[in-house]
Structure 1
Amino acid sequence: MATLGERIKKLRKEKGLTLQALAGESLTKGMLSLIENNKANPSMESLSYIASQLGIEQNELLAEIPTVELRELLVEVEKLYRRELNDLSNGFKLIIEKVEPYLKNLPYRYESARLLEIFSRCAYYEKQEGWQAKLAQAEEMYEGLHLINNSADIHMFRAMLKFNKHQYAEALAMLQNSRKSFEKRDAVLDALKKLDFDYLEAVLYFAIGNNRDATTIVNEAVEYSKENQIFYRVNDFYRVMSFHSILIGDKDSRKYYVNKLRLFAEFSEDGKIDLMLDLLESHYLNSFTHDYEKALNIVERNLEKYKEDEISQFYIEKGKALYGLGELDEALHWLERHRIWEYIHHPYDLSMNYEKDAYMALIYEKQGHHELAIKHAQIAKNNIEPMPDLPYKKFIMDVYKQIVH
């Protein structure tokens, strides 16, 4: 955190002033140099003069954390936070280190609340204690400043913490109670925040197996987006519906939503949507239509095109495709390389990943390694048992019965 002298020097340089220019007629160049280097303290009269020369309020110089410094810190932290969420580059610790020195002296304003919020989220991800108190402090500040949409973000974050623990019904209840609490006090959320709530509520309804209410929310949200010419969250709604269509065997709906996503990817020039669609398509071909050759071609194309950390979820699909083509040793190699990303928590995503051990069990059984086959069949069974009755569950339980009994 900058000292008074450091703040004066920084502002002087930002405004392109020399020591002599800032000193003017009321200060000597030498005295100003001493002040900037923290070797002399200015009188209130001198401080008022320096502030006037810099074109700012005197309180801005006296503030423990000047507004400009706070804003610059927030800009830097926001950039780091967005990069970390997108790239998973382990930058949460860096954010914590940058914000922590300011925590005790934050003024009552938006920048402070946002820094507290980001700090608490990063501390949660890093499994550090005390993040809850900082999050509550951020929410209190948002509420006091009447920043309802920011407060809503914190409500959604808390609900999704339950989701991350696979407490889906509790997460849904928390989210719905939050929406009701805002409605009761006539707090108006903006359109984007409404769509955030809609998306999370639909995802949670799918997680507890309430497909009807989930589908209703998605359809109403997409219609709302069309009416208001808002494209925010549209790809997320189409993505979850395309996956759901696969699971219920609705080929027409699957084709409709996949086509919509392809068009949206072209419109937005978002390569990640194409990557996700290729993963979904290879999964569909492996697990539902058993067109292993075609699935393998899609996987290979992406393995060549993207970096390893972007396409590691394709490993399980390559293993499944090779198993279907009878290349057991190679299939086992790719299945062993597969890891479930730690931020995957939805039953749809978890269940499709849990197929890995079932396929490994089948391979070991064919290779004559019965004990290993039993071990992996048991792992797959234990993983899938708490999950909803999706096609993956039937497949895994059938493999278990085939090998263990």
Structure 2
Amino acid sequence: MATLGERIKRLRKEQGLTLQALAGDGLTKGMLSLIENNKANPSMESLSYIAERLGIDRTELLQEMPTAELRALLDEIEEKRRKVSGTDEQMLRAYTEIAEHIHPYVEKLPFRYESARLLEIYSRCCYHSKRYDWKPAFDRAEEIYEQLHLINSVADLHMFRALMKFTEHRYAEALASLQESRKLIEEQSGSLDPLKKLDFDYYESILCSATGDKKNARRLMEEAIAYSKEHQIFYQINALYRLAGFEAMLAGDLERKDYYVGKLKLFAEFSDDPEIAAYAHAVEIHYWNSFTHEYEKADRLLEETRQLLDEEDFYFLEKGKALFGMGRIEEALECFKQHRMNRFIHHPYDLAMHYEKEAYMALIYEQLGDHEQAKTYAQKAKELIEPMPELPHKRFILETYRKIFAQADGY
């Protein structure tokens, strides 16, 4: 199947046109040569210009892939995308596989919704896996969505662009970008689609909490939950309950924490989804380990829920804390050594929770008499947590750092 560049070159030669003749005043001869040799992707505006110069419709240049094949490809890719899960390594392999599957078709995709959706998925997978350059596909997807007036799809791309900054821990920039996009989409559409409203509320709440704006984070969460109840929309409710429960725990509001954890458990029963129940248990386990220090309770629930938890990410972290609290420090150390933080974790709440491991390891090495190792881990924990907002985890890590260095200096 010919590439887009090859089709342009073939049509140009069939009409007896030179590169300069086809390029005219709207393109440079050099850029047209790059396009024909598949070294540059034309914008939709450039593609329309080339088609006009060739005396054909733009879709004739793009409509190389049969509609049935295009839809079958999208169905296959959507199924692969839905199955992305597991450890960060498993997710990276899945993203890479999806990107490689779509890559041969990228330049053959016609001007259709299915093409834009494939380009959107491709750009996301390329961004996460670093397999190919994600931006040209992302820009082309946005261009198609905009010309087809698919505002919700444009909104999804705007949210993804903001969340790219979030994954780079540029939290304030991510929040500003999301708020600007929300304003733009609301102006274009008049009012947000209910599902997009909940998306914007959820992500804005996450980003407010990431920047330390707890007041607006809580307001947005509670407004979104109330909106979901009023309109009987359960979209994002699981994620909202989890976030609200964790935020209440950090605020020391036990009654509100129990309320949202209870709601999460009820929703797990309603949806018959044991993984949602596991999220509720995870909040409780972390609360007992890091806040009330009820290590035996945390350990029992950990073992009951183990099959549903991410072992490397969550289980070994919290198991290590529980064992440490029960005085089984060598077993705790082995658990902490098996812990691997998922590379897709970026929120300060999650990062701070995982950075506690370094402080616990410092305390263990101090108890084992290895003062140099204790200082190394205490220093690492301090460096990791310092850019984070003020959280109980941060206080614990900094107190551990001061304790380790005070004790070490006494030897």
User: TM-score higher than 0.5 here?
Assistant: yes
How far off is 1:195 after superposition?
0.5
Q: Is the 8 A contact 2:341 2:354 kept in 1?
A: yes
- The change in CA–CA distance for 1:63 and 1:287 in structure 2 (over 3 A counts) is closer
**What runs of 5+ residues in structure 2 fail to find an aligned partner?**
3-58, 407-411
- Matches of 1:247 and 1:286, distance apart in 2: 13
- Matches of 2:370 and 2:292, distance apart in 1: 28
2:214 to 192, 211, 215: 211
- Matches of 1:326 and 1:221, distance apart in 2: 43
What's the counterpart of residue 64 of structure 2? 64
- Matches of 2:133 and 2:228, distance apart in 1: 38
What's the counterpart of residue 315 of structure 1? 316
- Matches of 2:373 and 2:175, distance apart in 1: 39
Q: Which amino acid aligns with 1:253?
A: R
What's the counterpart of residue 224 of structure 1? 227
What's the counterpart of residue 30 of structure 2? none
What's the counterpart of residue 35 of structure 1? none
Q: Is the 8 A contact 2:63 2:109 kept in 1?
A: no
2:96 to 78, 93, 96: 93
Q: Is the 8 A contact 2:275 2:308 kept in 1?
A: no
Q: Is the 8 A contact 1:199 1:233 kept in 2?
A: yes
Residue aligned with 1:84, SS: coil
What's the counterpart of residue 172 of structure 1? 175
- Matches of 1:189 and 1:86, distance apart in 2: 33
**What runs of 5+ residues in structure 1 fail to find an aligned partner?**
3-58
Q: Is the 8 A contact 2:249 2:257 kept in 1?
A: yes
How far off is 1:183 after superposition?
2.1
Q: Which amino acid aligns with 2:230?
A: E
Residue aligned with 1:383, SS: helix
- The change in CA–CA distance for 1:180 and 1:358 in structure 2 (over 3 A counts) is same
How far off is 1:277 after superposition?
1.7
- The change in CA–CA distance for 1:288 and 1:322 in structure 2 (over 3 A counts) is same
Q: Is the 8 A contact 1:246 1:284 kept in 2?
A: yes
1:127 to 119, 125, 130: 130
What's the counterpart of residue 81 of structure 1? 81
Residue 240 (1) aligns with residue 256 (2): no
Q: Is the 8 A contact 1:93 1:126 kept in 2?
A: yes
- Matches of 2:188 and 2:303, distance apart in 1: 54
Residue aligned with 1:389, SS: coil
- Matches of 2:229 and 2:101, distance apart in 1: 41
What's the counterpart of residue 395 of structure 1? 396
Q: Which amino acid aligns with 1:343?
A: F
Structure 1 or 2, whichever has the larger Rg, is 1
Residue 201 (1) aligns with residue 204 (2): yes
Q: Is the 8 A contact 1:302 1:311 kept in 2?
A: no
Higher RCO, Cα 8 Å, sep 6+? 2
TM-score normalized with structure 2 length: 0.81
Q: Which amino acid aligns with 1:351?
A: A
Q: Is the 8 A contact 1:148 1:189 kept in 2?
A: no
Residue aligned with 2:125, SS: helix
CA RMSD in angstroms comes to 2.0
- Matches of 1:403 and 1:93, distance apart in 2: 43
How far off is 1:281 after superposition?
1.1
How far off is 1:66 after superposition?
0.7
Q: Which amino acid aligns with 1:74?
A: L
What's the counterpart of residue 158 of structure 1? 161
Residue 273 (1) aligns with residue 271 (2): no
How far off is 1:184 after superposition?
2.3
How far off is 1:189 after superposition?
3.3
Q: Is the 8 A contact 1:148 1:187 kept in 2?
A: no
- The change in CA–CA distance for 1:78 and 1:86 in structure 2 (over 3 A counts) is farther
- Matches of 1:315 and 1:215, distance apart in 2: 30
Q: Percent identity?
A: 52
How far off is 1:187 after superposition?
4.9
What's the counterpart of residue 371 of structure 1? 372
How far off is 1:125 after superposition?
1.2
Q: Number of aligned pairs?
A: 347
Q: Which amino acid aligns with 1:266?
A: E
Q: Which amino acid aligns with 2:82?
A: R
Residue 185 (1) aligns with residue 188 (2): yes
What's the counterpart of residue 334 of structure 1? 335
How far off is 1:128 after superposition?
3.2
